[in-house]
Structure 1
Amino acid sequence: MKASRRSFFRQMSAAAGALSLSGMAAKAASFEVADGLKSLQSLDPITAAEDELSWAAVRQAYTVSPSIINLNNGGVSPQPKVVQEANDRYYHLSNEAPSYYMWGILDQGREPLREKLANLAGCSPDEIAINRNATEALDTVIYGMDLKKGDEVILTRQDYPNMINAWKQREMRDGIKLVWLNLDMPTENADYVVKAFTDAVTPKTKVFHITHMINWNGQIMPVKRLCEEAKKRNIFSLVDGAHTFAHMDFKVPDFGCDAYGTSLHKWLCAPFGTGMLYLRKERITEIWPIFTNDNPRGDNISKFESLGTRSFAPEQAIGQAIDFHNAIGPKRKEERLRHLKNYWCEKVKDHPKVKLNISLKPDFSCALGNFAIEGKEPGEIATRLFNDYKIHVVGIVWENIKGVRVTPHVYTLTSELDKLAAAIHKIADS
């Protein structure tokens, strides 16, 4: 087995510089993808996480750059070829007769797609709206809630800027009060986070805005406990799940949240500009849609999809992304992503000048990681990693989080993370 694995990686290395594949090679690559998925499906998640041969085969499903090591998948993830091809196919079909194929044919696929997304999310299709990204999903709720002057919203300085800005606009426009928490991160103390929220509650508190995974460093928040605390107090719980849906294995209703918004072009690897809103059935009538239909106070989730003309191609190609995700298996994917983060972190954590800004415990982190080097600015480190080693990461300076974010994906190989670790050591020693 070891000999065959060495042989495989020699073949992979020899082909690394190729920019395109011949027809026969493409068929071979396709076979390797199917073979790798079949191999992973036969393994338990923990064992599968370390099976480099199978993941190297899965890599063939992506059009990975041969010259850049992309470790900024947290911004937006690439799509497997099957998703890219579906998107292209639907787009070209639409152009044959737009009003017929878009509205008469492709639009008929929305309800089956809604069912697939609901199955992945673990909820009823009546609670899923399909949109363009987490910002649109969450803004729908933020702007659609009936809040009045003096009502309070608890959120953190570490939340995503688009959400912060949406709440600030409501503060300016409607006179609501934003109650800010500035959390020390990373933390392995869920009680600390829960207490910070509950201590800030007053009789005027109407909303907990909860980021499931902090995008700056990968900190996982105790969402279920926070939603439970909100429910006890009749407080609306709004969860930003941009970085966790199809990243970690869970069912959205298990958190007990009232609403959950996410982008599908991140960890699900769906087409760019695709997203989803989950809204608990009994809350639908309470939320005003941004783009309204003829019944804005109705209980039909589709009232949040009255966007006018839009491209149906990326929306329908979400289905292929779900199929690919399920072929890997949600839990196997989660464990592989966590393994990759821990892999590079373990290789650099003992360097005296390197500081990890993320926990290595599974309850508090998964794929996203963040590190700092003593005496060096995050932007400087990120620039050197790209210029000297062609490793693409992002420097982060946000509130009390300062470091370089590293985000691998399922197509990332540990051999690439070896290069990252070696580069970090060289930069730290310089």
Structure 2
Amino acid sequence: MTNRRSFFRKTFLTAGTLSLTSFFQKSLAEDISQALLDLNNLSPEAAAQDEELWRRIQQAYTTSNSIINLNNGGVSPQPKVVQDAANRYYTYCNEAPSYFMWRVLDQGREPLRAKLAHLAGTDPDELAINRNTTEAVNTVIFGLNLKAGDEVILTKYDYPNMMNAWRQRERRDGIVLKWLDFDIPMESDDEVVAKFKAAITPRTKVLHITHMINWTGHIMPVKRLCDLAKANNLYSVVDGAHTFAHLDFKISDLGCDFFGTSLHKWLCAPFGTGLLYINKQKIKDVWPLLASPEGQEDNIRKFENIGTRSFAIEQAIGSAIDFHQAIGSARKEARLKYLKQYWVDQVRDIDKVRFYTSTKPQFSGALFNFGIDGKDAGPVHNSLFSTHKVHTSPVKYEKVNGPRITPHVYTSIYDLDRLVEAIHMAAKV
């Protein structure tokens, strides 16, 4: 006790030491750091259920207490350490923008590229840093040399921005789009692969594959589909918006030619950050959206000639990677799946509640969609928010008609208990 009193006396009374506010900020940071260290001593299965540790890690976020945000699939909040990094770099740039942006922070892109490549399991020379999945995948869609009559196989459940890009190429260049449909929920990889395989003809050039369906959270058999593309000498384009830093995998594991993702989703990087992966042998096959100098045909950096960018948020990606790695990809996936299963198990037997996503762990992660028979997604979404301030994403599209629920690592069990209460009320009305 004497030592404790001496510590606090020295901390608060000595001139030039920390203020009360900064002391507790430092104490909180130390507690979060210790929680991350403790987490790394646990297996993914044990870590997923350690509520005390996750409560401490949740303090790394500055999320609102006035709503329960279960739409992290749209964009996720950043831990404060990432916010602080972006703000610090931004302030630094404003001291002399043309000097500190172009001559200092711009020099950090290659170390950042290497750090991202380490996380992705790729060669740094296969990764371009950009703003989001749409930019990444659209770069490939518009950059490939396709001609009238060439076929692209895709599904009705791909992301709208990607479907619209392919439709524009259809109108502009006369390519042929072949749309696949599936039963919802999907629970057979064999059926998915068989449908793609049956659609291939001698004129097929591209398989467009969404790694995790944004409407429902279904995980597609990407490796098998990429192998199918390779066996038929086709390009494989993967939309990985919802899987990178959500599921425990390496891009190199998939065997794809192209992969795009948003880092501001599950990695919790600054808003408007993403990456494009292109197999080194295929870089020359893609024209950049914005012109690059001659001589860059085989250089992944030809996709980064966009003029002035936000160097501050780009460099802060590094802090998001550090935070993610401190948790660990396997432990993060296990926790996210645990959170999904926690609330799903409590509502599966509610009268009129139906699932548009499989509950089997191999087919879904944190992203899940449910509906209430007789009600559209919008009113159900509104009910969840009006009664319990639960923010979701309503989906009424094709065979899906319900709110999309996406918790993240900062989501508490209390938050999910409130979601369950809200679903009970919505189903009774």
**TM bin (shorter chain):** over 0.9
| Secondary structure class of the residue paired with 1:150 | coil
Quote the offset at 1:31 in angstroms. 2.4
Quote the offset at 1:297 in angstroms. 6.0
CA distance in 1, matches of 2:394, 2:292: 42
1:340 is aligned to 339
RMSD between superposed Cα atoms in Å: 1.1
Superposed counterparts of 1:240-319, under 5 Å: 240-295=239-294, 298-319=297-318
Runs of 4+ with deviation above 4 angstroms? none
Quote the offset at 1:387 in angstroms. 1.4
2:402 is aligned to 403
Q: Which moved more, 1:21-30 or 1:395-404?
A: 21-30
CA distance in 2, matches of 1:288, 1:158: 27
Q: Is the 8 A contact 1:147 1:176 kept in 2?
A: yes
| Secondary structure class of the residue paired with 1:158 | coil
CA distance in 2, matches of 1:42, 1:281: 37
Q: TM-score if structure 2 supplies the norm length?
A: 0.94
CA distance in 2, matches of 1:364, 1:94: 44
Which digits, 9 at most, give the CA deviation of each residue in 1:220-244, with x for residues without a partner? 0000000001100001000000000
| Secondary structure class of the residue paired with 2:94 | helix
Quote the offset at 1:258 in angstroms. 0.3
CA distance in 2, matches of 1:183, 1:291: 36
1:6 is aligned to none
State the identity as a percent.
Answer: 60
1:234 is aligned to 233
Equivalent residues, number: 410
Which digits, 9 at most, give the CA deviation of each residue in 1:36-87, with x for residues without a partner? 1112111000100000011111110000111111000000000000000100
1:31 is aligned to 30
1:4 is aligned to none
Q: Is the 8 A contact 2:376 2:396 kept in 1?
A: no
CA distance in 2, matches of 1:124, 1:260: 13
1:5 is aligned to none
| Counterpart residue type for residue 247 of structure 1 | H
Which of the two has higher C-alpha Rg?
Answer: 2
| Counterpart residue type for residue 418 of structure 1 | D
1:389 is aligned to 388
Superposed counterparts of 1:39-54, under 5 Å: 39-54=38-53
Which digits, 9 at most, give the CA deviation of each residue in 1:368-424, with x for residues without a partner? 011101221110011111111111011101112111100000000111101101110
1:190 is aligned to 189
Q: Is the 8 A contact 2:383 2:422 kept in 1?
A: no
| Unmatched runs of 5 consecutive residues or more in structure 2 | 1-19
CA distance in 1, matches of 2:295, 2:274: 21
Superposed counterparts of 1:20-419, under 5 Å: 22-295=21-294, 298-419=297-418
Q: Is the 8 A contact 1:296 1:303 kept in 2?
A: no
Which digits, 9 at most, give the CA deviation of each residue in 1:236-274, with x for residues without a partner? 000000000000110111111000000000000000000
CA distance in 2, matches of 1:184, 1:271: 36
| Counterpart residue type for residue 415 of structure 2 | E
Q: TM-score if structure 1 supplies the norm length?
A: 0.94
CA distance in 2, matches of 1:402, 1:196: 24
Residue 422 of structure 1 pairs with residue 421 of structure 2: yes
